[in-house]
Amino acid sequence: MTKLTKKQRAVLDFIQASQQEEGVTPSYADIAKHFGYSSLTTAVDHIRSLQKKGFLSHSFRQARSFKLTAPLQRLRRQIADIPLFGDIPAGWAQDREQEALGCVSIDIGSLGFKPSPNTFALKVQGDSMIGKHIVEGDTVILEHGLSPQPGDVVAALIDNESTLKTYTMEEGQPFLRSENPKYPALFPVNELVIQGVMITLIRKRNA
């Protein structure tokens, strides 16, 4: 199968997302604006490459007429469905029960990792992690069972309350650091349990 570059794959994903969310394919101008290209030429070049590789067809007599073709179905075999276990407070820690609410589909090739049975997703609520560019509405992808290193973003239970914070060590003692000066560091009184270490995040286009 003909391989795509990371940029070509990103353009193809953007076209597919636009079709699913808006019912129409993006124009060259839309593609250039989304990816920050300084001219339409770069967008046109990517589209032509996708057409040559058989991933897109296009009617020259009709605007916004890109169509995803059969090879994309083979490409989508690299899509993994990761269980979404509700949301997690990125603010003050809260008593929160997590339960499966569905799945998040991840393109393994473009994100560069292969999910395991211990991979799971959570929706972010709150603004305590903005210093690490994690905002409300993001979906964080985490791995259960990894040993956290100082600086890792983790989903944790601190004294039985759930939160998303940065794992930190000081004089051999672990605690949780916020990435927003509005919130204090969290030191466990009794117990700190790391539920998962963040490996990536997903952000909606309009977030």
Domain boundaries, the chain: 6-69, 78-202
Residue 1 has pLDDT above 50, yes or no: no
Cross-strand partners of 141: 121, 200
Q: Write the pLDDT tens digit of every residue in 69-99.
A: 655 555 555 677 889 988 999 877 776 566 6
Q: Write the pLDDT tens digit of every residue in 31-55.
A: 899 999 988 899 889 888 888 888 8
What's residue 81's pLDDT?
81
Which residue matches tokens 């090879």? 71
Catalytic residues: 128, 165
CA–CA distance, 164 with 152 (Å, rounded to integer): 11
CA–CA distance, 42 with 39 (Å, rounded to integer): 6
Residue 100 has pLDDT above 60, yes or no: yes
Q: Write the pLDDT tens digit of every residue in 15-26.
A: 877 776 666 778
Mean pLDDT, rounded, of the chain? 83
CATH code of the domain made up of 6-69: 1.10.10.10
Kindly indicate the confidence band of residue 56, based on its pLDDT and cuts at 50, 70 and 90. Answer: confident
Element (H, E) at 105: strand 102-107
CA–CA distance, 203 with 207 (Å, rounded to integer): 6
Whether pTM > 0.85 for this model: the answer is no
Q: Calculate mean pLDDT across residues 188-202.
A: 93
Say if domain 78-202 classifies as CATH 3.40.50.1100: no
Cross-strand partners of 84: 102, 121
Burial, 101: exposed, middle or buried (Cβ in 10 Å; 0-12, 13-18, 19+)?
A: middle
What's residue 115's pLDDT?
86
- Highest-confidence range of 77-91, 113-127, 192-206, by mean pLDDT? 113-127
Helix (H, G, I), strand (E, B) or coil at 185: coil
